[in-house]
Structure 1
Amino acid sequence: MSGNDRRSVGELLLDSELAARDVLMDAYEVDGATMLRTWGEVVESAGDLWDSLPSPGPSPEFASPAPEDSLMAQLKAMNGHLMRSGRGQQWPGAGEPDERLLRIAENLTRASDLLTLRDSNVMSPEVRADLGAARARLVHTLYIGAHGVHVTLNRELRNMQSQRAAARVHNQFTHPELPREDLVRAVSRSRDRVAAFEQLAGSYVSRTYPHALDGEHLPPPPADRLRQALAAWDVQAHRSLSRSPSAENILLTSQTQMMIAQSGQVLLRAASQAGRIDPDLYASRLGPALDNAHAVWSSLSRSWNQLLPPQALLKADPSLVAAAKETSAAYREVAYDRTRPASAIEIADRVDLSATVQAVQQSISSSVDIAHVIGHATTQPDVTAPARRLNARAQQLHAERGESFDAPHEGWVSASDHLNNAPAALPHIVRDDLLTQADEVAATATVAMSAASSLETILPFSPAGTPRNGRFHQDRTLSPAPETGDLPPPVR
């Protein structure tokens, strides 16, 4: 974990919850063996963090702490045996980790490092509330993540069983790509054991989440954190893409710029509602321009994401990763009440909106140049991606363009690269498409910059409302996952 990571324990836990939700949402697109290999690290890191949390001591709220600790010990034991039983076996075998699960494990390890390893029998109500919230968030993260792994393994098992059923009908059990029966059994056992883990974690979640978050201490954000984070991100994005252009760095940059555009919308909308900027200007020019900027950044990010495997960001520049995490945390601290956008009143109570508007305006301007830097990086020969993904994308683009674009006789990638799925240079049809998108992002960002140049702050004014103390507890639960990955109700 980078030494530049300024996130608090609470932010790291929240980031882990959101990352677990991402795992669940993408559970139908990730390899089960990759997920299972990395899941063990998540549980180990969670157990270490649980053990690092201070003991609450005697208190009405924590009259019986032993059952909680026993539950975590059970989860750690289940995970430890599952990981040991898979070592040296053909499945899940060795291989790359899942980037999102690894991110969760890193966050939890970092949170452990931030804690003072000592017990305290005398705690303020604020610390007690934070401790209960931390435990609840930690197990909730394991619950969501376990369900994502379970969904992935269940999908993989059904696919393997379907292939064997089809082979049985056609008497093709000697086909080299047919999954062996012992591998099917291995996946089935792992699925069932992860399901048991999920249900055990769910029994704790049902008792604690989300009411354990009530009273969670939310310190006011540092006055200059967002501006500093955005400035540091701008410098690091230019530096990383200039010194080490790679598909991974371009993907992370486009993803972060998409987040910046979306969060900037939230803040400027709040400034409009709070009277810090002209509401008519926002409604007529700035809001639509920001909508378009967010849309094109999203499209560019998706296009790069198609070319890379889920664990690709493990290869991104660590300094760029750290700057992206700090920018995300700084925005979320100001613009969100946990997992939902904060209201204009909440945001106005947290920060100086006039200064925040200036920071957002500067980020809109810098996004224009970052788009051009991405376009230049896309042309560099060092930018490569897995050959099979490149070939699939090139074929898709060629089918969309039809006969107006001739396919090369030697193929979009070499036969050897495709066979080994080796890193390959971008085919010209793929590079041209990415360059066109980068140019569109730059043009759209320029329009947004022009609209933002007309921002005019007015005299300080706060909308009427109840004074805020930085603690809001409604609507803090994660919004429901899509139908394909809905969580079953926890065991009660």
Structure 2
Amino acid sequence: MTTDLRLAYADIDEELFDVDQIPMTSHDVRSVGEMLFDVDYLARQLLMDVAGDDADTLLRSWPTMVAAAEDLWASLPDRRPGIDERDRPITSLSAQASTIESSLSGRKAWPGPGPTNPRVDQITQTLLTAAALVRRYGAEIPHEQTEAHRDLEAARTRIMHGLYLTAHAVNVALHDNGRDRVNDARDSGRRVQLAQHHSPYAIAPTGVWVDRMSVCENTARSYLTDQFAQALASEAIRPVDDPGRLAQALANWDIQSHRALARHIEPANILLITRTQGLIAGASMVLVDAAATAGILEPADRLVPAIAEAGRSWSNLASRWGDLAPPGARLEEPLARAAAEVRAAYRQMTHDTTTLATPQVIATRPGLPQATMATLRAIEAGSELAHVVAEKADAPNLTGPARAMSRRAHNDAEAGLATPPTEGDVVWVSPADILARRAVTVPRPVREALRSASTATASAASAAAASAILAHTNGGGSPRPVWLSAADNAQPGDHFTPASSPDRGMPCRKSAAGIDRSPPVGPLR
């Protein structure tokens, strides 16, 4: 009898390690439309996060991003012969970016040679991947049809909006860089002549770059004026053709986030992890609401508030780890790709063109039961991940950019989030370190507040996990995996075949060779 049970488990192992049964997670399965939406998302996040210390890396990355955007623009079908009025803005932007790249090459004055910005590089890579996908499948798009034509216009609008947001982010960074220079000069007793246009802080050496980037920003804005909302309203939506997509995306995310945390502490990776966990919490609230509307879940008074509190805690923790991330820090590519797929999989379920779909609309979408169970499992798993992240706050060698650490330390001390110093007002970071843009050891107030935020996040995530487990059970989902229950009940001589995926009996996703990338209107969406 014992021998037979071991054989049953051996059969399970054979299935688990069969390459045709393991879902492939190393390839980007997003559509072009989802990639363009992610370009918009990444550019918005960049705009919210930029600081003066990012100005030089952003400036160096700008020409390459414009080149990638022009490449994607040129690959879209339905291009007319000759110079099209519709293409003039991207052509102008490309010419402007080329002159910026020429000015930067071999330049010893600021910003000089150096690294590019990894976040803009991520946007650039997404644009290049989308262009390759369009070139591969673009001939199949029936662009003479009205719906496809409008979808192509929406794609061009997305491209230009991503450029507009990024150009504005570069300008914001240049402005902040000039402001930091003015404040540093005043602190050292030097007089500074403020600028008379754009901004008082558009001083040398950043002033000339503010002028040039403002031209790029205005060029992109001219294309978007009076047509942004109308163009995106006609954007095609990829149907839910794989009910197990969200479950697969979340499973891969859990793997990649743990792998990243098991290595050396990289604040940029932890920032992405905490930010994505906050996104998972927000999207879970939407799916839970729709599942209750559809009768998939029983209404629960504690579930949504618990998830909301966990989301707020994750977002607060993300802002703190963001301060620790040095300028130019690069993300692990598998982690970034897994986060992008999570965003795309959730949006496919929760959005309708440019807006959040109503619970009534989401309730009619195929795959909602699987998505609901998957998102509840992700909330359950978030408790353990929060404890892993909290451990990183206790690391003895944490460092961060001097300027960000100085601001955060004073703010936390004034807000009472850390133990007040007995010696009164304290300079937590040396002005020399700030001026030299050094990485410094995390000051005591910042470390204390980071630990408190980590503890609060772990507590909130645990409460949300408990509510999710209860809702999962009441909603008909078994908290115990189906294949494990079947193995427990195996009888001598039984040949047990487990469910082929975590989606409770749903078929496995296709391997890389069998991935179906076809969208509703050609391959674009």
TM-score by length of 2: 0.72
Structure 2 counterpart of 1:451, from 448, 459, 467: 467
Name the structure 2 match of 1:276: 296
Name the structure 1 match of 2:458: 442
The residue correspondences of 1:43-54 to structure 2 (distance < 5 A) are: 43-54=66-77
1:448-480 per-residue CA deviation (whole Å, 9 max, x = no partner) reads 122222323389xxxxxxxxxx99xxxxxxxxx
Pair 23,412 (structure 1): closer, same or farther in 2 beyond 3 Å = closer
Paired residues of 2:52 and 2:174 also in contact (CA < 8 A): no
The residue correspondences of 1:324-339 to structure 2 (distance < 5 A) are: 324-339=339-354
**Alpha-carbon offset, residue 106 of structure 1:** 2.0
Q: Look up the equivalent residue of 1:287 and give its one-letter code.
A: V
Paired residues of 2:400 and 2:441 also in contact (CA < 8 A): yes
Structure 1 counterpart of 2:213, from 194, 217, 222: 194
1:346 and 2:361 are equivalent in the alignment: yes
**Alpha-carbon offset, residue 289 of structure 1:** 0.9
**Alpha-carbon offset, residue 108 of structure 1:** 0.9
Q: Look up the equivalent residue of 1:433 and give its one-letter code.
A: A
SS at match of 1:201: helix
Paired residues of 2:66 and 2:94 also in contact (CA < 8 A): yes
Worse-superposed segment, 258-267 or 216-225? 216-225
Name the structure 1 match of 2:61: 38
Pair 234,272 (structure 1): closer, same or farther in 2 beyond 3 Å = same
**Alpha-carbon offset, residue 228 of structure 1:** 0.7
**Alpha-carbon offset, residue 416 of structure 1:** 9.0
Pair 365,405 (structure 1): closer, same or farther in 2 beyond 3 Å = farther
**Alpha-carbon offset, residue 335 of structure 1:** 1.5
Q: Distance in 1 between matches of 2:190 and 2:432?
A: 32
Structure 1 counterpart of 2:94, from 76, 89, 96: 76
Q: Distance in 2 between matches of 1:390 and 1:266?
A: 36
Pair 413,341 (structure 1): closer, same or farther in 2 beyond 3 Å = same
Paired residues of 1:254 and 1:300 also in contact (CA < 8 A): yes
Pair 433,154 (structure 1): closer, same or farther in 2 beyond 3 Å = closer
SS at match of 1:115: helix
**Alpha-carbon offset, residue 156 of structure 1:** 5.1
1:365-395 per-residue CA deviation (whole Å, 9 max, x = no partner) reads 1001001111223334565433554455445
1:15-54 per-residue CA deviation (whole Å, 9 max, x = no partner) reads 1122233344456766443432222222111111112222
Q: Distance in 2 between matches of 1:83 and 1:288?
A: 50
**Alpha-carbon offset, residue 132 of structure 1:** 1.9
Q: Look up the equivalent residue of 2:470 and give its one-letter code.
A: S
Q: Look up the equivalent residue of 2:475 and give its one-letter code.
A: T
Q: Look up the equivalent residue of 1:321 and give its one-letter code.
A: A
**Alpha-carbon offset, residue 245 of structure 1:** 3.1
1:300-354 per-residue CA deviation (whole Å, 9 max, x = no partner) reads 1111112224543x1x322222211211221122122344322113322333322
Q: Distance in 2 between matches of 1:302 and 1:162?
A: 24
1:60-117 per-residue CA deviation (whole Å, 9 max, x = no partner) reads xxxx972223432222111111221233041232344344433322221121122226
Q: CA RMSD in A?
A: 3.8
Q: Distance in 2 between matches of 1:122 and 1:438?
A: 52
Pair 377,332 (structure 1): closer, same or farther in 2 beyond 3 Å = same
Q: Distance in 2 between matches of 1:145 and 1:37?
A: 12
Pair 68,354 (structure 1): closer, same or farther in 2 beyond 3 Å = same
Paired residues of 2:419 and 2:445 also in contact (CA < 8 A): no
1:146 and 2:162 are equivalent in the alignment: no
Q: Look up the equivalent residue of 1:297 and give its one-letter code.
A: W
Q: Distance in 2 between matches of 1:258 and 1:235?
A: 17
Pair 403,186 (structure 1): closer, same or farther in 2 beyond 3 Å = closer
Paired residues of 1:45 and 1:105 also in contact (CA < 8 A): yes
Q: Look up the equivalent residue of 1:69 and give its one-letter code.
A: D
Structure 2 counterpart of 1:127, from 109, 132, 148: 148
Unaligned ranges ≥5, structure 2: 1-24, 194-201, 478-518, 521-525
Name the structure 2 match of 1:9: 32
Q: Distance in 1 between matches of 2:176 and 2:380?
A: 45
Worse-superposed segment, 390-399 or 357-366? 390-399
Name the structure 2 match of 1:263: 283
TM-score by length of 1: 0.77
Q: Distance in 2 between matches of 1:378 and 1:402?
A: 15
Pair 404,347 (structure 1): closer, same or farther in 2 beyond 3 Å = same
SS at match of 1:454: helix
Worse-superposed segment, 248-257 or 16-25? 16-25
Unaligned ranges ≥5, structure 1: 59-63, 175-182, 460-469, 472-492
1:243 and 2:278 are equivalent in the alignment: no
Pair 122,302 (structure 1): closer, same or farther in 2 beyond 3 Å = closer
1:430-458 per-residue CA deviation (whole Å, 9 max, x = no partner) reads 44433332222222112112222232338
Name the structure 2 match of 1:290: 307
